[in-house]
């Protein structure tokens, strides 16, 4: 079954399925990227069938459980992306140098983002971040680096910004989430369950959600008040590129900085604090004699 794509398996069994199972199967074929991360209840609701029908479909396809069928769906999607990336890379590159070819691809990604991005959605997300009494930025695994960068710049632009890149502080942060908070949830293909779970909990407490993700099929979509999508861009067919998320976060940073009334004052305070700290923590080159003596154990 590993060599046979999930789609071909499903089409090959279509005639032997019950009417309800056929309806479910057709929905999955038409929405594979979304369905491979939906729950049984969500698929049943979309297809107006029962949860039992969805489970029985997995049995009809010789899977021991719905979870195993969904894993095969995800493997098929990821395999398609890998093949597409390799084919696109080979066809679109105008350079024989692989690094130049990758740079050409990155430039293409930025052009795609500019063409496809809903700027009204970006503007609404910026306004939500300006008005929020608290901003929580969450990104796990491959999204953690982008989340940390966004936290660093946002905490300079405005107060009351918190970062979550592991479960260690999840309960403490969630304790303080209010209806006036905005949660920026960053997640891409191979979506983090921890990100989804925290987002769901924050939403239940009344927080507004700004999702940074790859598309409307993302499992974060049902929780999002504002959703900025970059498409799915993978390096070597298996790693998520940071570039799409950084482009989106860069736009949000630009917008929030331009609208935050206290940004200039905070920059001035930051410079003042930096000066105070440097007075107590001199750089090594300011006292070379002392540093050389210390290094010799004197």
Q: Summarize pLDDT for 208-221 with one digit per residue, the tens.
A: 999 998 877 788 88
- Residue 20: predicted pLDDT: 92
Put the strands of the sheet holding 208-213 in their side by side order: 161-164, 134-139, 181-186, 208-213, 226-229
Q: Say whether 260 sits in a helix, a strand or coil.
A: coil
DSSP secondary structure letter of residue 63: -
Domains and CATH numbers, the chain: 6-83 (1.10.10.10), 109-261 (3.40.50.10490), 265-295 (no CATH)
- Residue 81: predicted pLDDT: 44
- Residue 86: predicted pLDDT: 44
* Nearest-angstrom CA–CA distance, 295 and 298: 8
Name the token pair of 103: 């740079």
- Residue 283: predicted pLDDT: 54
- Compute the residue count for the chain: 298
pTM: 0.64
In the chain the first and final C-alpha atoms are separated, in Å, by: 70
Q: Summarize pLDDT for 200-211 with one digit per residue, the tens.
A: 999 999 999 999
- Residue 220: predicted pLDDT: 86
- Angle separating helix axes 98-116 and 243-259, nearest 10 degrees: 50
**Could you tell me where the beta strands, DSSP code E, fall in the chain?**
134-139, 161-164, 181-186, 208-213, 226-229, 234-235, 239-240
Question: Which residues of the chain are modeled with pLDDT < 70?
Answer: 1-4, 78-96, 102, 106, 109-116, 231-240, 278-298
């Amino acid at each position: 079954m590993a060599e046979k794509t999930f789609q071909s398996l499903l089409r090959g069994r279509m005639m032997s399925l019950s009417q309800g199972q056929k309806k479910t199967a057709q929905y999955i074929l038409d929405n594979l990227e979304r369905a491979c991360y939906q729950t049984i209840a969500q698929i049943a609701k979309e297809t107006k069938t029962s949860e039992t029908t969805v489970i029985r479909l997995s049995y009809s396809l010789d899977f021991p459980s719905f979870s195993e069928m969904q894993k095969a769906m995800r493997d098929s999607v990821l395999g398609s992306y890998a093949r597409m990336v390799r084919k696109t890379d080979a066809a679109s590159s105008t350079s024989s140098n692989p690094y130049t070819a990758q740079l050409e691809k990155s430039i293409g990604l930025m052009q795609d983002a500019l063409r496809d991005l809903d700027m009204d959605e970006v503007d609404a997300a910026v306004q939500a971040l300006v008005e929020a009494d608290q901003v929580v930025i969450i990104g796990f695994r491959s999204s953690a680096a982008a989340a940390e960068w966004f936290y660093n710049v946002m905490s300079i632009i405005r107060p009351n910004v918190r970062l979550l890149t592991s479960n260690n502080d999840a309960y403490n942060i969630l304790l303080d989430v209010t209806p006036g908070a905005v949660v920026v949830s960053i997640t891409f293909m191979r979506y983090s369950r921890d990100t989804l779970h925290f987002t769901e909990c924050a939403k239940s407490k009344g927080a507004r959600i700004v999702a940074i993700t790859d598309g409307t099929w993302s499992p974060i979509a049902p929780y999002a008040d504002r959703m900025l999508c970059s498409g799915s861009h993978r390096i070597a067919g298996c790693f998520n590129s940071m570039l799409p998320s950084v482009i989106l976060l860069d736009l949000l940073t630009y917008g929030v900085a331009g609208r935050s009334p206290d940004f200039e004052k905070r920059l001035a305070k930051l410079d003042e604090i930096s000066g105070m700290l440097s007075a107590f923590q001199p750089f090594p080159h300011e006292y070379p004699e002392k540093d050389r003596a210390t290094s010799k154990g004197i």
